[in-house]
């Protein structure tokens, strides 16, 4: 098969790590694999298998995006193209229809589309979301990464639920195992007298690190802890100001983007996810693979499906008191590492990608 994975850029984030896992799997299994990127940049490019080709748009001008993409589709003649996020999904479907290419289009949803739509200002992007019920039905296949997300997407796209396949993210890989072997040199990890919490994710409203900062502010009144927040994003100055205003400069550090966040999680006493919403929660599988006890908000969607009440501790969304209490409970009641690692392997690239392999083969042999 000649396969293409289409995304904005291979920057930080769970979807980007999944694209790398997918591309590396398929090229290792003898397929011709290309990643099509709108922007020629991204930290994760160096993680790609040497045989994965990367194609960039000739122009990122809004007026030339379609012609750039159409030219790629006509020239490359992919058997199948896989895209993520509503904007790229609708763009891919429309490009196929207008260009006349025979490329099969498989679209996937990784985030809570309904919440994104409600929180978005009325712009061209919101118009894209309004086109979902019209265009998604022309996709050759639709994938949601969690059952809850599939149910939500069914309502947004106005499609029968049986038209949406549930395939979890292929989050556990041999690459992840190698990253777990890399140690992080930081004085806080060397000081075993004070437990370290780690959070990893983009610094955005959806991840709600502000809630976690407030929870730690409550928790340190009862016991000493330290928190490292791994990631970058537009809220960095806002979160730093919050840390400073609460006098937590010696308790909480924003350590920025790290290409191997699991290396940091691996050395933490507890991993904390404070999100308001998720599509799946790749980082939770990574924390499981590290054997690190997890505290997560019980947000839509993903955490409850991954942790299922025995592989981590859940707390209501937006509850800073509950989050502080649960973190303290987790520190006093760590979960068995082998139990968590075995759970992570249920989301292995080999197992999950076999489902994608079957889907792609089914579509391209029709």
CA dihedral 145, 38, 33, 360 (to 10 degrees): 40
Instruction: Examine the pLDDT at 129 and tell me if it is beyond 70.
Output: yes
As a whole number of Å, the end-to-end CA separation of the chain is 13
Token pair of 65 as six digits: 């995006």
What residue spans of 208-333 are helical by DSSP H?
209-219, 236-245, 261-266, 282-290, 303-307, 320-332
Strands of 141-144's sheet in order across: 53-56, 32-37, 2-7, 80-84, 104-109, 141-144, 164-166
Question: Any idea which of 40-44, 124-128, 193-197, 280-284 has the lowest mean pLDDT?
Answer: 124-128
Contact 169, 352 (CB under 8 A): yes
pLDDT of 114 reads 66
pLDDT band at 125 (very low <50, low <70, confident <90, very high): low
Instruction: For residue 178, give the nearest of 22, 353, 47 by alpha carbon.
Output: 47
pLDDT band at 214 (very low <50, low <70, confident <90, very high): very high
* Percent of the chain predicted with pLDDT > 90: 80
Alpha carbon distance 348, 344 (integer Å): 7
Instruction: Examine the pLDDT at 116 and tell me if it is beyond 70.
Output: no
Instruction: Examine the pLDDT at 123 and tell me if it is beyond 60.
Output: no
Instruction: Examine the pLDDT at 202 and tell me if it is beyond 70.
Output: yes
Over residues 204-214, mean pLDDT: 97
Instruction: Examine the pLDDT at 221 and tell me if it is beyond 80.
Output: yes
* CATH number belonging to the domain at 174-346, selected among 3.40.50.1240, 3.40.190.10, 3.40.50.2000, 3.10.330.10: 3.40.50.2000
pLDDT of 121 reads 57
Same fold yes or no, 2-170+348-364 and 174-346: yes
Over residues 321-346, mean pLDDT: 98
Report the DSSP pairing between strands 80-84 and 104-109. Answer: parallel
Instruction: Examine the pLDDT at 124 and tell me if it is beyond 60.
Output: no
Over residues 78-107, mean pLDDT: 94
pTM: 0.89
CA 136 to chain centre: 21
pLDDT band at 253 (very low <50, low <70, confident <90, very high): very high
Over residues 223-241, mean pLDDT: 97
pLDDT tens digits for 150-174?
998 998 899 988 899 999 999 999 8
Q: Which residues contact 338 (CB under 8 A, 6 or more apart)?
A: 291
Contact 253, 227 (CB under 8 A): yes
pLDDT of 128 reads 72
Over residues 20-37, mean pLDDT: 96
pLDDT tens digits for 31-74?
999 999 998 888 899 999 999 999 999 888 888 898 999 999 99
Mean pLDDT of the chain: 93
What residues does each domain of the chain span? 2-170+348-364, 174-346
pLDDT of 162 reads 87
pLDDT of 252 reads 98
pLDDT of 117 reads 60
* CATH number belonging to the domain at 2-170+348-364, selected among 3.30.559.10, 3.40.50.200, 3.40.50.2000, 3.40.50.300: 3.40.50.2000
pLDDT band at 24 (very low <50, low <70, confident <90, very high): very high
pLDDT band at 119 (very low <50, low <70, confident <90, very high): low
Question: Any idea which of 107-121, 244-258, 284-298, 320-334 has the lowest mean pLDDT?
Answer: 107-121
* Percent of the chain predicted with pLDDT > 70: 96
């Amino acid at each position: 098969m000649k396969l293409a994975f289409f995304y904005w850029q291979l920057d930080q984030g769970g979807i980007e790590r999944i694209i790398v896992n997918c591309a590396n799997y398929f090229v290792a299994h003898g397929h011709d694999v290309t990643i099509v990127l709108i922007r020629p940049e991204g930290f994760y490019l160096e993680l790609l298998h040497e045989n994965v080709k990367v194609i960039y748009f000739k122009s990122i001008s809004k007026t030339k995006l379609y012609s750039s993409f159409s030219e790629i589709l006509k020239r490359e003649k992919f058997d199948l193209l896989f895209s993520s996020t509503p904007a790229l999904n609708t763009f891919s479907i429309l490009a196929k229809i207008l260009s006349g290419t025979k490329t099969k289009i498989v679209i996937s949803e990784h985030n809570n589309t309904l919440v994104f739509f409600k929180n978005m200002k009325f712009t061209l992007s919101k118009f894209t979301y309004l086109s979902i019920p019209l265009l998604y039905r022309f996709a050759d296949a639709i994938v949601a990464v969690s059952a809850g997300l599939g149910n939500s997407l069914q309502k947004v796209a106005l499609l029968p639920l049986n038209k949406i396949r549930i395939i979890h993210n292929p989050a556990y890989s041999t690459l992840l195992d190698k990253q777990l072997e890399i140690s992080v040199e930081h004085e806080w990890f060397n000081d075993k007298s004070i437990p370290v919490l780690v959070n990893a994710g983009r610094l955005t409203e959806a991840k709600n690190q502000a809630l976690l900062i407030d929870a730690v502010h409550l928790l340190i009144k009862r016991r000493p802890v330290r928190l490292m927040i791994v990631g970058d994003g537009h809220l960095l100055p806002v979160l730093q100001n919050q840390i400073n205003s609460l006098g937590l400069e010696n308790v909480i550090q924003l350590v920025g983007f790290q290409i191997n966040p699991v290396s940091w999680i691996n050395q933490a006493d507890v991993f904390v996810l404070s999100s308001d919403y998720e599509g799946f929660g790749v980082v939770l599988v990574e924390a499981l693979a590290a054997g690190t006890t997890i505290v997560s908000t019980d947000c839509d969607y993903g955490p409850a499906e991954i942790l299922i009440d025995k592989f981590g501790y859940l707390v209501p969304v937006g509850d800073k008191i509950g989050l502080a209490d649960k973190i303290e409970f987790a520190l006093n009641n760590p979960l068995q590492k082998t139990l968590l690692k075995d759970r992570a392997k249920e989301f292995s690239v080999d197992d999950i990608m076999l489902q994608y392999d079957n889907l792609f083969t089914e579509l391209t042999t029709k």
